[in-house]
């Protein structure tokens, strides 16, 4: 049952922080190019790891992490007020490059120029 509660809390934290990005005034946080990829909450719900990705690349995401860390008090206050919990977990922000990596893999696969089989061949015909 606690795994369900932790997963639900992680989902709620991801939604709240994603919605609050546009309200943050830090110049390191470019809200239009920043995405909260996922959130993981520890079993005792004392620490939340928030993975953020930027469309501008990993360097921009690392800068945004610094801005988000400085705004973590405000974000924790927002989590407490929206969810009605007594204590918000400690927020740890991590720059995630999975979107950039998947775009790179997709580009590599397209460069292979493998012809697609639109017609199925029936080898069982007599």
Element (H, E) at 4: helix 2-20
* Beta-bridge mates of residue 91: 48
47 part of a folded domain? yes
Q: How many CB atoms lie within 10 A of CB 109?
A: 9
Q: What is the pLDDT of residue 2?
A: 57
Q: Does 112 reside within a domain?
A: no
pTM of the model: 0.77
Domain range for 57 is 2-97
Does 41 map to a domain? yes
* 1: confidence class by pLDDT, cuts 50, 70, 90: very low
Whether 124 is in a domain gets the answer no
Q: Is residue 123 part of a domain?
A: no
- The predicted-structure confidence for 64-120, as pLDDT tens digits, reads as follows 999 999 999 999 999 999 999 999 999 999 998 877 787 788 888 888 877 776 655
Q: Is 25 among the domain residues? A: yes
pLDDT at residue number 110:
87
How buried is 116 (Cβ within 10 angstroms: 0-12 exposed, 13-18 middle, 19+ buried)? exposed
Region 2-24 average pLDDT: 91
Domain harbouring 6, CATH code = 3.30.300.20
122 inside domain? no
Could you tell me if residue 121 is inside a domain?
no
pLDDT for position 119: 59
**Structural domains in the chain (count):** 1
Average pLDDT taken over every residue of the chain: 86
Nearest partner of 9 among 99, 94, 76, judged by Cα: 76
Q: Are 35 and 18 in contact (CB under 8 A)?
A: yes
Q: What is the 8-class DSSP label of residue 105? A: H
């Amino acid at each position: 049952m606690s795994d369900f509660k932790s997963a639900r809390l992680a989902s709620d934290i991801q939604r709240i922080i994603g919605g609050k990005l546009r309200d943050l005034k830090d110049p390191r946080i470019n809200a239009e190019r920043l995405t909260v990829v996922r959130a993981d909450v520890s079993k005792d719900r004392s620490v939340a790891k928030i993975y953020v990705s930027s469309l501008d690349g990993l360097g921009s995401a690392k800068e945004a992490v610094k801005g988000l860390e400085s705004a973590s008090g405000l974000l924790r206050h927002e989590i407490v007020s929206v969810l009605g919990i007594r204590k918000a977990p400690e927020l740890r922000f991590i720059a995630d490059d999975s979107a950039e990596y998947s775009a790179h893999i997709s580009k590599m696969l397209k460069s292979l120029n493998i012809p697609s089989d639109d017609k199925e061949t029936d080898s069982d015909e007599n």
